[in-house]
Structure 1
């Protein structure tokens, strides 16, 4: 288990738990198709503590780093 915010660029992972993040952010991720069991690939990490870009189901999504470090993933 590792945190989504700790993956390196190009690494893939499977979402294990998103229950620890804020319910509004969780709802938004669920609406975008990021659920527990989804596979994601880290595409880009913005500098100076900015957001990260992940790809899931063919779409890229920006997630704040403070939320990304609360999402548990399993490396693939």
Structure 2
């Protein structure tokens, strides 16, 4: 399953980040988003807009294209 399939308010554990661009992966790692952590989807914007994720009290926006490449497991 990928992050773009997650519903609003659902929590998931990041399983694999290897399919995303290295620059984006580095940026996510700078924010503490790595394999094994749990995130919650706060908001999805319409028309394949950005996803707003909550992680440890931080709100982080990522593009739909990147969310479709991040593998997750629902919690």
| TM-score, normalised by the number of residues in structure 2 | 0.98
Unaligned runs of 5+ in 1: none
Structure 2: state its 5+ residue gaps: none
Deviations 1:21-52 (A, max 9, x none): 00000000000000000100000000111100
Map of 1:38 onto structure 2: 37
Provide the C-alpha distance between the structure 1 equivalents of 2:3 and 2:27, rounded to a whole number of angstroms: 17
In structure 2, the residue corresponding to 1:13 is in which secondary structure? strand
What is the count of residue pairs matched by the alignment?
A: 75
Aligned to 1:35, what secondary structure does the other structure show? Answer: coil
SS in structure 2 of the partner of residue 61 of structure 1? strand
Superposed CA RMSD in Å reads 0.5
| Match status 1:10 vs 2:6 | no
In the other structure, the counterpart of 1:75 is: 74
